[in-house]
């Protein structure tokens, strides 16, 4: 049930322009066939304010953003900017009203220059209708100077980092004199240094009087950057509070509707024999002289900045990427030939960070995605025992509390957290005893994260050897028994839970 908290009050007649919200949403509602995606949602944000828009996957955040951007038309309610009610028929209308969305998937043309991308919507015309290239470059440089961005307007977008491309998207907003900038998961692909830079950019935007709506699953960022938190749940408004009035527990409770008292459970689990041994591992993908081991019942975490080699290591130790030298032993047996079929036979598997591109068959059913690795267990004389396959899939749906309408629905229709639990089920169904998890909570909301964390602890308590690759410092420290740090394809630091600190880990990561 939605909590009985007062919605933000509308300003009284006679409010000055300074007091008037830059954006006011009242009673916004959106229906799709069979689904009430947004139900009577209200919020407001003022210039110079960062409003965090929070909620689990399916809470209505994306629908609200697309309504504000003019992608969707509302079925009820109003949108006001600058005190004027707006009706958007297209994204161009949203932009004209001063609303710019920086989506998680950046929409720039890589072969165009920075300046050309900034003025995509309305190239400045010179005499005889020709594009005023000098004026475009001059205006782009002027925007960068005003916002404090260090970017060459004549560089092609393909030559920029992800964080620099975000600055180009923000510059497009400034070029259109946007008063509201919506950032959708802006740090999902950024390094810690790039996150710090983005936060500095947000502070400059605030100083320019721009209102920011910030969407993120990373609560640490919310407490650092946001002034106000608005929480949605199941398409409904739940709460609007100053960030200073929240702690992690209260914010999570608003988002998931229940208290999560222990985000990082840790069972009292005895360690067993060494299961994974890696010695002198070097690969063509940039790994050099890697040594470590993992015991049964242990969670060993690997941390590194972007490009450090986490994913390359994950793929190498399951047989995916070829090795140049060194050896990998699983339960005492060498991983040769070095391929995934041999790794799977020895009992080691990978949960890829790119679950949609490398893990899932999005159009196939939940059942088939879950049973794929163990399909031969349900096959006799070339025929699949569909009843046995469904029964096994249902047992894991029940065990992991996977939320779905039916087993035969396409797995692409499930939330990210439920997709990840289905992938874990695939490997457990096959019978693996060693699992490599590469960014297992990427793009997953806080409630689903808590469930994934509990599953990781449960696997370790059952005697699994768990290798965790993550760029998320809280889960690295909260889940790992031991931590290795990668930089430039080498191990540059190792810690146990007693000696590991965020500062020491980051110091090792930049060596």
> Is the backbone of residue 486 left (phi > 0), alpha (psi -120 to 50) or beta?
beta
296 and 167 within one domain: no
- Count CB-CB contacts under 10 A for residue 43: 21
Burial of 17 (0-12, 13-18, 19+ CB in 10 A): exposed
Q: How many domains does the chain have?
A: 2
The pLDDT of 60-73, averaged and rounded, is 92
| pLDDT tens digits, one per residue of 275-297 | 999 999 999 999 999 999 999 99
pLDDT in tens, 11-60: 343 445 556 899 999 999 999 887 899 999 999 999 999 999 998 877 89
Residue 225 lies inside a defined structural domain of this protein:
no
Report if residue 42 sits inside a domain: no
Tell whether the model's pLDDT for residue 10 goes beyond 60. Answer: no
In a domain, 376, yes or no: yes
Last-in-domain residue among 177, 202, 222: 177
CATH value at residue 307: 3.40.50.300
Is residue 385 one of the residues assigned to a domain?
A: yes
The confidence score (pLDDT) of residue 456 equals 92
339 and 454 both lie in a single domain: yes
CB 26 within 8 A of CB 10: yes
Residues 6 or more apart in contact with residue 122 via CB below 8 angstroms: none
Q: What is the pTM of this model?
A: 0.69
Residue 283 and residue 148 in one domain: no
Q: Give tens-digit pLDDT for 374-394.
A: 788 888 777 888 888 899 899
Residues 286 and 425 in one domain: yes
Last residue of a domain, one of 177, 209, 233: 177
pLDDT band at 68 (very low <50, low <70, confident <90, very high): very high
Q: Are 486 and 278 in contact (CB under 8 A)?
A: no
Structural domain boundaries enclosing 483: 274-509
User: Is 473 in the same domain as 341?
Assistant: yes
State pLDDT tens for residues 357-379.
Answer: 777 888 899 999 988 877 888 88
- Mean pLDDT (the chain) is 86
- How many Å separate Cα 86 from the centre of its chain? 31
In the beta sheet, which residues pair with residue 485?
Answer: 303, 493
- The beta strands (E) that lie in 71-205 are given as 76-81, 84-86, 99-102, 180-184
As given in the structure block, the two tokens for residue 223 are 């407490």
Last residue in a domain, options 154, 177, 200: 177
Whether residue 47 lies inside any domain: the answer is no
The whole-angstrom distance between residue 232's C-alpha and the CA centroid of its chain comes to 18
Is residue 6 scored above 60 in pLDDT?
A: no
Q: What is the mean pLDDT of residues 435-450?
A: 84
User: Which structure tokens are listed for 256?
Assistant: 């998931």
Whether residue 370 lies inside any domain: the answer is yes
Kindly state whether residue 132 falls inside one of the protein's structural domains.
yes
| Location of structure tokens 């889960």 | 475
pLDDT tens column, 180-211 = 999 988 887 777 777 888 898 899 889 989 99
Query: Residue 8 pLDDT more than 50?
Result: no
For residue 185, being part of any structural domain is answered with: no
Q: What is the mean pLDDT of residues 2-8?
A: 38
Q: What is the pLDDT of residue 12?
A: 42
Closest among 508, 485, 489 to 326, alpha carbons compared: 489
Phi-psi region of 319 (alpha: psi -120 to 50; beta: other; left: phi over 0): left
Helix (H) or strand (E) holding 467: strand 465-469
pLDDT category at 87 given cuts 50, 70, 90 is very high
Q: Are 310 and 492 in contact (CB under 8 A)?
A: no
Q: Using the 8-state DSSP alphabet, how is residue 7 labeled?
A: P
Q: In sequence order, what are the residues at sequence separation of 6 or more whose Cβ sits closer than 8 angstroms to the Cβ of residue 150?
A: 144
DSSP assignment, residue 179?
S
């Amino acid at each position: 049930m939605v909590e009985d908290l007062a919605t933000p009050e509308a300003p009284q007649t006679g409010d000055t322009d300074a007091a008037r919200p830059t954006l006011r949403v009242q009673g916004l509602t959106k229906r799709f066939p069979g689904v009430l995606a947004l139900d009577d949602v209200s919020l407001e944000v003022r210039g110079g304010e960062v409003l965090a828009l929070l909620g689990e996957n399916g809470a209505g955040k994306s629908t609200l953003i697309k309504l504000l951007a003019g992608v969707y038309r509302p079925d009820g309610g109003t949108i006001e900017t600058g005190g004027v009610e707006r009706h958007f028929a297209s994204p161009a209308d949203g932009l004209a009203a001063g609303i710019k969305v920086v989506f998680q998937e950046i929409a720039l043309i890589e072969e165009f220059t920075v300046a050309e991308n900034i003025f995509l919507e309305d190239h400045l015309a010179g005499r005889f209708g020709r594009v005023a290239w000098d004026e475009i470059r001059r205006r782009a440089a002027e925007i960068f100077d005003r916002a404090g961005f260090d970017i060459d307007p004549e560089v092609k977008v393909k030559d920029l980092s992800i964080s620099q491309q975000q600055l180009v998207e923000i510059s497009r907003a400034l070029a259109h004199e946007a008063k509201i900038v919506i950032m959708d998961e802006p740090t999902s692909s950024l390094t810690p240094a790039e996150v710090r830079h983005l936060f500095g950019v947000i502070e400059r935007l605030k100083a320019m009087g721009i209102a920011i709506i910030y969407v993120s699953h990373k609560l640490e960022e919310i407490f650092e950057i946001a002034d106000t938190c608005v929480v949605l749940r199941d398409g409904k408004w739940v709460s609007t509070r100053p960030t200073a009035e929240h702690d992690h527990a209260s914010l999570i409770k608003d988002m998931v509707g229940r208290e999560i008292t222990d985000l990082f459970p840790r069972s009292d689990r005895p360690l067993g024999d060494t299961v994974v041994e890696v010695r002198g591992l070097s690969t063509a993908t940039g790994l050099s002289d890697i040594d470590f081991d993992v015991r049964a019942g242990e969670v060993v975490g690997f941390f590194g900045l972007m490009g450090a080699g986490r994913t390359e290591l994950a793929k190498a130790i399951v047989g995916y990427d070829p090795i140049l030298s060194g050896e990998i032993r699983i339960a005492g047996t060498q991983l040769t030939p070095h391929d995934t079929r041999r790794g799977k036979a020895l009992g080691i598997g990978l949960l890829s960070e790119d679950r949609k591109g490398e893990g899932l068959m999005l159009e196939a059913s939940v059942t088939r995605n879950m049973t794929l690795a163990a399909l031969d267990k349900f096959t006799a004389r070339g025929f699949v025992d569909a009843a046995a396959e469904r029964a096994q899939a249902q047992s894991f749906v029940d065990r992991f509390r996977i939320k779905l309408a039916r087993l035969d629905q396409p797995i692409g229709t499930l939330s990210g957290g439920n997709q990840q639990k289905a992938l874990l089920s695939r490997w457990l169904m096959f019978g693996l005893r060693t699992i490599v998890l590469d960014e297992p909570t990427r793009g997953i909301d806080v409630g689903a994260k808590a469930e994934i964390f509990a599953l990781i602890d449960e696997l370790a308590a059952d005697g699994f050897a768990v290798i965790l690759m993550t760029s998320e410092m809280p889960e690295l420290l909260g889940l790992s028994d031991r931590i290795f740090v990668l930089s430039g394809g080498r191990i540059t630091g190792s810690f146990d839970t007693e000696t590991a600190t965020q500062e020491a880990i980051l110091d090792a990561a930049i060596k």
